[in-house]
A and B are shown apart, each in its own frame.
Chain A
Amino acid sequence: MEYERCYIYTPPETDERAPKRRRINKANSQAQLQERIQIYRETWFHQQERIQATLEEADRVTLEKIINFVSASAQTDYAEPVSIPTGLVIAGPSIASHGPFFERLGRKIKDETNSAYFLLNSGDSSNLKTFLKNLIKKAMSRVDADDEDDLGRIGSSSRNGPKLLDFDLGHLQEWHARSRADRIVVAIQDSEAFDANLLVEIIELFYSWLDRLPFVLLFGIATSAESFEDRLTGKAPRYLQGQKFNVTQSDEIIEKLFSATIASTDVSLRIGPNLSRRILERQKDHVQNVQDFSDSLKYAYMSHFYANYPSLFLKQDITFKDLPPDVFEATRNLPSFRRRVEDMLDSGRAQEVRKLLDSDQYLFENIVEHVQSGQEVLSALSTAGMVIVRVRQALQMSAQVPLSSIWIRAASGEMMGSPLLRETMLSIKKAPSDRLAQLLSSLEDLEGIDFPVDLKAYRKDLDELNKDNTTSTPLRSQHDVRNDNLRTTVVAQKVLLSKHKAALSERDKAYSELVGHFHDELDTYFTTAFIDPRALFLSEILMYDLKSPHTEVFQPKPRFAIERALASPHDYLGCDCCGDADGGRDADAALSATQPATAIIYRLYLESGSLINVSDLWSAFNALAGEEEDAESKTMALFQRAIAELKYLGLLKPSKKKIDHAAKVMWKGL
């Protein structure tokens, strides 16, 4: 075939079956997929709306400040402009969310002030010329959206005479004369990625045009305003005058998003504690990125509905007729169903169990009922989480615990008996009356939520007690430490410390009773609310908590995958010849000639230092993999291909230090 430049490779056909084959399941895994996708869409739609609303709310204050700044900067007379009004927008290190932020900002600026807004980033601005071209293009396309071929040639007059070059700010001037915008806001999204000299050039140029064009500059900054200023050289800082705006920190936004989505009280599908913890930890440790958070949520929702047949039951107003019998079979296989059956058998309800197993209709009714009640239990759990947060806030407890961590603990069933809960309950007991009043009103604000404690009654009683309180000091409960006196007595040369309750006034006693009652009632409430949700019947339908596809999709390990494949190829090849001889335990250590050449070289590579003598490597390889004397050229070919492959993978590169050596570039396990 050597004379052909290229050819079609047809592998020799063999009758042998592939060594490993997937089991083909006859059951249709795609059953009712369309319906499930539909339920997914509806459920996710609500979540997405919440996410959007939360994001907008989080940015609102900053956006308003920036808009006020922009509208205040209108230059009424162009006589002698002193400096360009400049906003430094400290947007934080979560670079991926800068784009959406600046887009929202732009929309708002255009809506609420009479300004033009142009967003530019480093990608389309490698030098001053392209920067200006892009700026002008953005301005022109705004007006001449309909006649595109006119782009760059302005007005009929210039068609015959000299025309402006396409990076001449004169275009912007003509455009501005027509559009009559009060100011031209130019936002530079990623100021760090801009070359410092380019920034200076832009600033100087804009300043020079400031008597004709009312520029306002906005710089997106990931680090800090100071480091931005330090990069500007020469007179550039003199030409800018402005303010700094802090965008909400992304961990705060993530916390808000968590409360609005995962820990919210009315969602039909919940993300379980393990997955939630994973998502949050990733945000804290690796990326701070709102988009990523909502993506992982979305992916979890998709995984649940796409891959879980019984998720059909989350459909609203579901009827028995719509359902194929398979779905009941699937439900009967759920672990929580089995648990339930066993429990029922233990309590001697064999008759019902029989019915559950035999009658689809009966099972259906049962499922509908339990899905409904399970939802209620879960939303009660979320409410209880919120109550704890409110209590801790109102009592001004020192350790700030965010809702996310409380919710995760509650959802993994760890809340009952936890130190956190005990501490919270204790401080309720100790709360003086003013704090209690705050607590009551803060709980009353929890609107539209099923909360069994009758707050109004307590409020009334408290008011009653307070009515004849003439002093300004609040009422104290008997557990309040301030009511304890320490008394020191010396008895037989030993100091005795003894606590004595200070005498409580009548009203304080009455108050203590009130608080005690409140405490007990809350305690019962928490005990009923904080159940372990994973023990719920049908929890597999109500809650998605699988780690597996999430980690593979959002946290892949590319380097590890390559290293592992090279180090133990037999795991992937599934052949009998390599490694597995002695039970596979020590397979990692065995180095045999049957392995692919690249894997062999890789093993030798791992054993060598940072400079590898290629000739030594060859002798080692030849000793291992070489067959007979005369086959050396074949072995050499294998060797060279293996080296080339390692080089291609970026593990090896030629060294400048020694001509016959290669440099090791990557170490295993990093």
Chain B
Amino acid sequence: MLPDEILTQLDKQYPCREFQIQQLASLYFSNLPSPPLLIAHGLTATGKTSIIKSLLALSTIPHTIINLQECITGRHLLERTVSSVLDALDEYNDERIDRRPYSRTENLSVLANHLQKILEGHKKFVLVFDGIDKQREAPYTFLPGLARFSELIPALSLILITTLPISLELRKPGTPHLPFPPYSRSSLLTILSQNPPKIFLTQPSEEQYPDYTPDLAAEDDAWLWGRFLGAVYDSLSKHTGRDLVSFRNTSLRLWRDFVAPVVDGTFGTRDFSRLMVNRRHIFQGEEAVLDRIISSQNAENESAQTHSTAIIKKKRDVGMQHDLPYYSKYLLISAYLASYNPSRTDSTYFMKHTDRRKNKRKVNTNAGATKSKHRRIARHLLTPSPFPLDRVLAIFRGLIDGPVPQLADIYTQIATLTSMRLLVRVGGVGGDALEAGARWRVNFGWEWVRGLGRGVGIEVGEYLVGGVDV
């Protein structure tokens, strides 16, 4: 393809990036030597990866792109670079280079050596490192070292893609930078309105609406989608995820809900303002801007099948879906109380022979009196404090009516709850998990423990020092 054709195609594929595409083309497509090093930087989803990748793929320059996120260690990065460069050249020249000399790449200077040897006699080779800031275990000499590669290897052109400009770390002034600024509102709308989704998943039947042709439908789709995008941006994405991908996901998530009245015939396809009024609630919730594994559509299908869950679905339960063993529940409640009550109050709250109610009220009024002087934050809103294991066991025995034998099962349950991360050991990991001196913390919240308590007939708030006003 001629450079000009490539340009038009890319401009069409990636609108609003004419400047960057132009720059890249002029730097790499001409017969003049390409810059030895270029930094392409911009926030996420600004098209860096895709544009550079497409541009190089359409050109006739031998190249390879290394995604640093896929490199697990520094050594891994070096090894991968060598083999990818070899692979790319093999493919480009349709021949096999003898690989024996390159079987090991221990460090950056060996890499330079290898590349020097491999690229000997080549005119130009573009090596792209994508996601410099994602590199794991990067040696601190990595970037300055890379920057000097061009001095050793004239044929090599490096492109580094990062989210932030990194000229300082390079310690090499005068490196050209190519910024990919975040898209403005109008650019976002232009890009996304390129592929409007359909209003009608199945085209309305021809007998009923003979004049509604697919062309007409496509026109409606584009019109409504364009308006809708504007509304989504102004109400949601402006404040939350402004990048292209978040915006696209949010819009797609809302779309079917938005056009539902059109599909069922309540409104016409061009009744945008009435649609907006009718569907305003979908722009008010947070559901659409959150990334969830189980999409709301899936969840709805599921709840349609088992409608008993539909009612409780609204309330997200962060705790358990399966029932825990009886004593495990008590252990968790005790652990919660141990985390949030100061230990000196334990004897008033849990001693079997004291009258719980009387003491409780006394403490409560005390707390109320101090509250008026200087405001206290309710305990359950603070972070949990660590407690030793015996305290939980003591509270556990205080909570349960009647004796519980000192079975090993109790310890098994604590271990199980720990591997479920409902209880977390603080500090020293390793050693005996149930060692008496270890300290623990709970890893669940007030709402959940309250529900757990109600399941076994305990109002946890009554045992919490200072009480809870719900």
Contacts and interface: CB of A to CB of B under 8 A. Distances in A.
Interface of A: 86, 88, 90, 92-93, 95, 128-129, 132, 157, 160-165, 167-169, 190, 192-193, 204-205, 208-209, 222-230, 235, 237-238, 240-244, 246, 249-251, 282-288, 555-560, 563, 650-651, 653, 665-667, 669-670
Contacts of B419: 95, 190, 192-193, 222
A161 B83 contact: yes
A241 B292 CA distance: 8
B72 A223 contact: no
16 contacts: A88-B294, A93-B320, A93-B420, A128-B72, A129-B73, A162-B82, A162-B104, A162-B105, A193-B419, A208-B69, A225-B293, A237-B292, A238-B245, A251-B323, A288-B325, A555-B408
Contacts of B86: 161-162
Contact of A132 (B72, B105, B249, B317): B72
A557 B409 CA distance: 9
A161 B104 CA distance: 8
Contacts of B388: 665
B448 to A, nearest CB: 9
Interface residues of B, number: 63
B421 A95 contact: no
A168 B317 CA distance: 39
A282 B72 contact: no
Contacts of B105: 162
A31 to B, nearest CB: 34
B459 interface: no
A136 to B, nearest CB: 11
Contact of A225 (B80, B321, B324): B321
A121 to B, nearest CB: 11
B210 interface: no
Contacts of A237: 290-293
Contact of A205 (B69, B291, B316, B421): B69
A284 B325 contact: yes
Contacts of B322: 90, 92-93, 222, 249-250
A670 B408 contact: no
B318 A224 contact: yes
Contacts of B325: 93, 283-288
A162 B79 contact: yes
Interface string B312-333: 0000111111111111100000
Interface of B: 67, 69-70, 72-73, 75-76, 79-80, 82-83, 86, 99-100, 102-105, 136, 245, 249, 290-295, 298, 302, 316-328, 388, 390, 393-394, 397, 405-410, 412-413, 416, 419-422, 435-437
A225 B436 contact: no
Contacts of A285: 325-327, 409
Contact of A241 (B293, B407, B408, B435): B293
Nearest to A169: B70
Contacts of A225: 293-294, 321
B394 A667 contact: yes
Contacts of A95: 416, 419-420
B420 A287 contact: no
B301 to A, nearest CB: 9
A286 B409 contact: yes
Contacts of B73: 129, 165
A204 B410 CA distance: 39
A650 B406 contact: no
Contact of B291 (A209, A238, A288): A238
A193 B421 CA distance: 7
Interface hub of A246, A563, A665 (most chain B Cβ within 10 A): A665
Contact of A560 (B67, B323, B406, B409): B406
Contacts of A240: 293
B408 A557 contact: yes
B324 to A, nearest CB: 5
A555 B320 CA distance: 26
Given A128-B72, A665-B390, A670-B393, A161 B294 contact: no
A117 B172 CA distance: 49
A93 B100 contact: no
Given A224-B318, A665-B390, A167 B409 contact: no
Contacts of A128: 72, 136
A550 to B, nearest CB: 13
Contacts of B75: 165
Contact of A229 (B80, B245, B292, B405): B292
Contact of B67 (A208, A286, A667): A208
Contact of A161 (B100, B320, B409, B435): B100
A235 B69 CA distance: 14
A635 B437 CA distance: 29
Nearest to A160: B100
A285 B80 CA distance: 54
B321 A90 contact: yes
Contacts of A160: 99-100, 103
Contact of B406 (A132, A224, A669): A669
A193 B419 CA distance: 6
B323 A246 contact: no
B192 to A, nearest CB: 15
Contacts of B320: 93, 223-224
Nearest to B388: A665
A500 B102 CA distance: 103
Interface centre among B67, B100, B321, B326 (most CB of A within 10 A): B321
A242 B413 contact: no
Contacts of A563: 406
A169 B245 CA distance: 26
A205 B131 CA distance: 13
Interface centre among B104, B291, B322, B422 (most CB of A within 10 A): B322
Contacts of B104: 162
A168 B76 contact: yes
Contacts of A230: 318
Contacts of B435: 650
B293 A242 contact: yes
Given A193-B421, A222-B420, A650-B436, A670 B316 contact: no
A651 B317 CA distance: 40
Contacts of A129: 72-73
A650 B326 CA distance: 28
Nearest to B396: A670
Contacts of A559: 406
Nearest to A88: B293
Given A162-B82, A168-B80, A205-B70, A558 B294 contact: no
B119 to A, nearest CB: 16
Contacts of B76: 165, 167-168
A224 B421 CA distance: 12
B413 A286 contact: yes
B418 to A, nearest CB: 9
- Among B100, B318, B413, residue most surrounded by chain A Cβ atoms (within 10 Å): B318
Of the candidates A90, A160, A190, A228, the one having the most CB atoms from chain B within 10 angstroms of its own CB is: A160
Contacts of A227: 318-319
A90 B293 CA distance: 14
Contact of B323 (A157, A249, A666): A249
A128 B80 CA distance: 17
CB-CB nearest 8 A-B residue pairs: A161-B99, A92-B322, A286-B409, A670-B393, A237-B291, A238-B291, A560-B406, A650-B436
A162 B318 contact: no
A243 B294 contact: yes
Nearest to B299: A244
Nearest to B406: A560
Contacts of B82: 162
Given A95-B416, A193-B421, A229 B100 contact: no
Contact of A653 (B245, B328, B397, B437): B437
Contact of A204 (B69, B294, B327, B412): B69
Nearest to A242: B293
B321 A161 contact: no
Nearest to B136: A128
A255 to B, nearest CB: 13
